[in-house]
A and B are shown apart, each in its own frame.
Chain A
Amino acid sequence: MHWSTIIYCGIITYLTRFSMIFILKEDILNDKAKKILSYVPSAIFPAIIFPPIFLDNVGSLDLESNPKILAAILAILVGYISRSIIITIFVGLISYWFLIFVYY
Chain B
Amino acid sequence: MNNRLKILTKGIIDVSPLMIPVVPFGIIYGVIGIELGLSAYMTFGMSIIIFGGASQIVLLQLFSGGATSLVAITSVGAVNSRHLLYGAVFSEYLSHLKLTWKIILSYVLIDQAFAVSNTYFKKNKENEFKHYHLLGAGFTCWTIWQISTVLGIVLGSVIPEELGLSFTISLTFLALLINDFRKFKNIIVMLVSGIVATIGYNIIPFQAYIIVAALAALMTATLLTLINSKKK
Contact = CB atoms under 8 A, between A and B. Distances in A.
Interface of B (DSSP majority class)? helix
A12 B193 CA distance: 23
A11 to B, nearest CB: 9
B229 interface: yes
Interface of A (DSSP majority class)? helix
B222 A36 contact: yes
A52 B218 contact: no
B124 interface: no
A18 B87 contact: yes
Interface in A39-88: 39-55, 59-61, 68, 71-72, 75-76, 79-80, 83-86, 88
A76 B171 CA distance: 9
A52 B193 CA distance: 14
**Which of B79, B169, B171, B218 gathers the greatest number of chain A CB atoms within 10 Å?**
B171
B18 to A, nearest CB: 10
A76 B170 CA distance: 11
Contact of B87 (A21, A50, A76, A92): A21
Contact of A9 (B72, B81, B167): B72
Interface of B: 20-21, 24, 28, 38, 42, 45-46, 49-52, 54-55, 57-59, 61, 63, 69, 72-73, 76-92, 94-95, 99, 102-103, 105-107, 109, 163-164, 166-182, 185-186, 189-198, 201-202, 209-210, 213-214, 217-218, 220-222, 225-226, 229
Given A3-B42, A17-B87, 17 more contacts: A6-B42, A8-B73, A9-B50, A13-B77, A19-B84, A21-B105, A25-B91, A26-B95, A34-B85, A34-B89, A39-B185, A39-B225, A41-B176, A42-B221, A43-B189, A48-B197, A54-B198
